[in-house]
A and B are shown apart, each in its own frame.
Chain A
């Protein structure tokens, strides 16, 4: 009994440390965003003078609002494409035997490992030649390159969990392989797709390297890139409050996303599919 209590206590202590380590910077950022510019550097954890001026400020500048639109648009399109294409690829990887499958999987992994920064200069030149520089597709394409491996890996793990007999049953019931995929397998893999979508969205949403180097104007600048261009009221003032406020704003969708879909990620939709 006492060892169990001790074990519980040590777990609780460990968890607290981890949670605090993760949350304190976020809370610090939130605190900064509510501080009046005059007290920004006071070093206090809680703001002495609460203000919404920083938020009002960023939403009044088109730099931020346009960037927000770009961020949402680019991340959503990249996510939808990655999940749609990734599902089909993952399904093939999980279910079919075809020549070169091992090579495909290995290359996919290789791409995922590839340092993004090394692609920046070639892409910069290439995109300018092709007219993709500072456009939405100019960011969506490299995002797909790096999120597809992630999507294929996660989704193929989910597809492997789904009993093969379900597709066989669907095919015998008169479904084409595509119908079987769409009407039987895809709904069952929905939790996997949601998980993947969240991961891909977060990747696109938080990317800085491509965003800063492949964009130049509010045509396609995303929030992480735009924040770097924030300026203070005067040349000598650092826009810490605005940056903090923008940081908080772009964190909110991610928090909502995870809260909203957590249930579905955890819920095992396949229970009852087979004996048991």
Chain B
């Protein structure tokens, strides 16, 4: 096993587009790191460069301390799981899994033993003599995983391995992947565009946007201390709500009401170069039905809004509502909206969502008193998207 280092790695394609721009990332030995971002952000290119399937334009990739820029994929001792699985259709499951071992000239008994062990780990025993065409999607996915683990490589590279599965199977396989990685302790880089996968699987998550790594951190760090609008909006489901606000005389004027900012927050905003216009972000769970907030009511602010749509999920209720005034605009938010497909759905961009206690009596179409804790607000610079109060 080995650590993987991306040292100022840049990838420019022949047509001049920069897919990855000065990426720096240190993946420790045995660590499970997720590269996440919307499609086209360069995450798969990063992975392909680690695998050796794509040349590195500038910078260095080191695997276990060894510079591998010039090494062919076969000399890197890594295994990769592809989104399409890329199983060899003319080989049985057993032959698929044994292919890499055969190329490594292991003897037959050894190959048989390793394949059987991997098959057992993935519950593929009964399928070893089948061809991929006769397997279900989930089984194919497991064979693809099996083909990777059977070789006990230095690292696993996984390129959206679960995105072709249906939702239920995806959740199951997610735990399987997590369990396997725990058991094997192999360094793993996992690419996904699904922030839920990123949050649940990774030891650390790297969020990418337009070829640039925005932030690397544990899921909690990304969730609680996003460095910019993009990370804040990308991580979390439902996504963080963004509203415009103006800062005047120490007060933040917003559609939720006026918030008095404590002196140290104001100082931070000033130090980080925030101007008069700001964007504030608030996570859905930091709202609450005002009727259910007892002791803490005075700590927060209340406002009222008409509930557009109410989704009761059992454990939670999600209330969607609109606020008066303009909506927050920034380059990052446009991109996020485009990625989420919000521009295709009417009214997707300017609604606010609140996660309420299931005991809430909120009704669709009725006015509701909502409470929020201003201490949980995130403030961003609309110009460059930077978080102002970290």
Interface set of A (CB-CB < 8 Å, partner B): 97, 163, 165-166, 168-176, 179, 183-184, 187-188, 269-275
* Assembled-state Cα–Cα distance A171/B135 (Å): 24
Known: A172-B79, A173-B99. 4 other contacts (CB 8 A): A168-B82, A169-B147, A175-B103, A275-B85
For this complex, 22 residue pairs linking A to B, each with C-beta atoms less than 8 Å apart, are: A163-B84, A163-B86, A165-B82, A165-B86, A168-B53, A168-B82, A170-B99, A171-B53, A171-B74, A172-B74, A173-B74, A173-B103, A173-B151, A174-B104, A174-B151, A176-B74, A187-B90, A270-B89, A272-B135, A273-B88, A275-B137, A275-B164
What CA separation (Å) do A163 and B87 show in the bound complex?
A: 10
Establish whether residues B90 and A169, one from each chain, have CB atoms under 8 Å apart when the complex forms: no
Question: What 5 pairs across the A-B complex have the smallest Cβ distances?
Answer: A272-B133, A173-B100, A169-B86, A274-B84, A165-B86
A56 and B266 alpha carbons, distance in the complex (Å): 109
B125 nearest CB across to chain A (Å): 20
Which residues of chain B in 86-137 are interfacial with respect to chain A, using CB atoms and an 8 Å cutoff? 86-90, 99-100, 103-104, 131-135, 137
Q: Which residue of A lies closest to B164 (CB)?
A: A275
CB distance from A170 to the nearest CB of B (A): 7
| A102 CB to nearest B CB, Å | 15
Cβ contacts under 8 Å, B53 to chain A = 168, 171-172
Contact of A269 among B84, B86, B90 (CB under 8 A): B90
Q: A165-B86, A166-B88 are in contact. Are A173 and B135 (CB under 8 A)?
A: no
Contacts of A172 in B (CB 8 A): 51-53, 73-74, 78-80, 157
A183 vs B96: C-alpha distance when bound (angstroms) = 11
Tell me the nearest residue of chain A to B103, going by C-beta.
A174
Instruction: List the interface of chain B (C-beta within 8 A of A).
Output: 14, 51-53, 72-74, 78-80, 82, 84-90, 99-100, 103-104, 131-135, 137, 140, 147, 151, 157, 164
Chain A residue at minimum C-beta to C-beta distance from B78: A172
Task: Kindly state the separation between the CA atoms of A275 and B84 in the bound complex, as whole angstroms.
Answer: 6
Residues in chain B near residue A183, CB distance under 8 A: 99
Asked if B87 and A173 make an inter-chain contact with CB atoms under 8 angstroms apart, the answer reads no
Question: Which residues of chain B come closer than 8 Å to A97, judged between CB atoms?
Answer: 14
Q: Is the CB of A169 within 8 A of B74?
A: no
Residues of B within 8 A of A176 (CB): 72, 74
User: What's the Cα separation between A163 and B90 when bound, in Å?
Assistant: 13
Please measure, in the bound complex, the distance between the C-alpha atom of A99 and the C-alpha atom of B86, giving whole angstroms.
Answer: 29
- In contact, A272 and B100 (Cβ under 8 angstroms): no
Q: Nearest-CB distance from B111 to chain A (Å)?
A: 13
Smallest distance from the beta carbon of A117 to chain B beta carbons, Å?
43
Rounded to whole Å, the gap between the CB of A265 and the closest CB of chain B is 16
B-side contacts of A173, CB under 8 Å: 74, 79, 99-100, 103, 147, 151
- In the complex, what residues of B have CB within 8 A of residue A169's CB? 80, 82, 86-88, 147
A272 near B73: Cβ-Cβ < 8 Å? no
Query: B80 touching A188 by the CB < 8 A rule?
Result: no
Given A172-B73, A172-B78, A173-B147, the answer on whether A271 and B84 have CB atoms closer than 8 Å is no
Task: Give Cα distance in the complex from A47 to B88, angstroms.
Answer: 55
Residue of B nearest to A177 (CB): B72
Complex Cα spacing A163 to B132, Å: 15
CA distance A187 to B131 in the complex (A): 14
CB closest residue in chain A, given B133: A272
Chain A nearest CB, measured from B91 CB (Å) = 9
**Contact residues in A for B74 (Cβ distance below 8 Å):** 171-176
In the bound complex, do residue A271 and residue B100 qualify as a contact, i.e. CB atoms below 8 Å apart?
A: no
B residues within 8 A CB of A175?
74, 99, 103
Kindly list chain A residues whose C-beta atoms are within 8 Å of the C-beta of B100.
Answer: 173-174
| Closest A residue, CB atoms, query B79 | A172
